[in-house]
Amino acid sequence: MTIALIPVEGQPSAAADQPVDLAVVGEILADIVTATAAGQRYLMGKTISFLERELASVSRVLTERRRAVFGRWLVELSRQAARIVPDVRAFNRRAQLLTDFVAAARVVQQRSVRVGPRPAARS
């Protein structure tokens, strides 16, 4: 499984601007279970980075309350990843929920971009 995107010398890297394929996050979450302790922490950190970037990219379609909740969830994920013996199942459940919300927010965002504003009601 390849996770890191390495830019070719002389070419600009657009990796940070492109949305992460959410299937990659799912693969990472599956790999966390069988990884060593050090591998788990690395993969958890990678997952948190992906989710932070993806949540930022869809934040305009999220309510302020949702952004606050998801921010707290990211803090919880970070705390879990920092534990000496992280609870992998708890991490995976929360990370999968966030991934699902990002996927749903992407659909809403794509529809709002494609459709645009609603026409004004006729009087």
50 with 102: CB under 8 angstroms? Answer: no
pLDDT, mean over the chain: 80
Predicted confidence at residue 94, as pLDDT, reads 95
Predicted confidence at residue 93, as pLDDT, reads 94
Q: How confident is the model at residue 122 (pLDDT cuts 50, 70, 90)?
A: low
Predicted confidence at residue 119, as pLDDT, reads 57
What is each CA distance from 69 to 78, 97, 108, 112, 115, in whole angstroms? 14, 12, 19, 23, 28
**DSSP at 60:** G
Q: How confident is the model at residue 32 (pLDDT cuts 50, 70, 90)?
A: very high
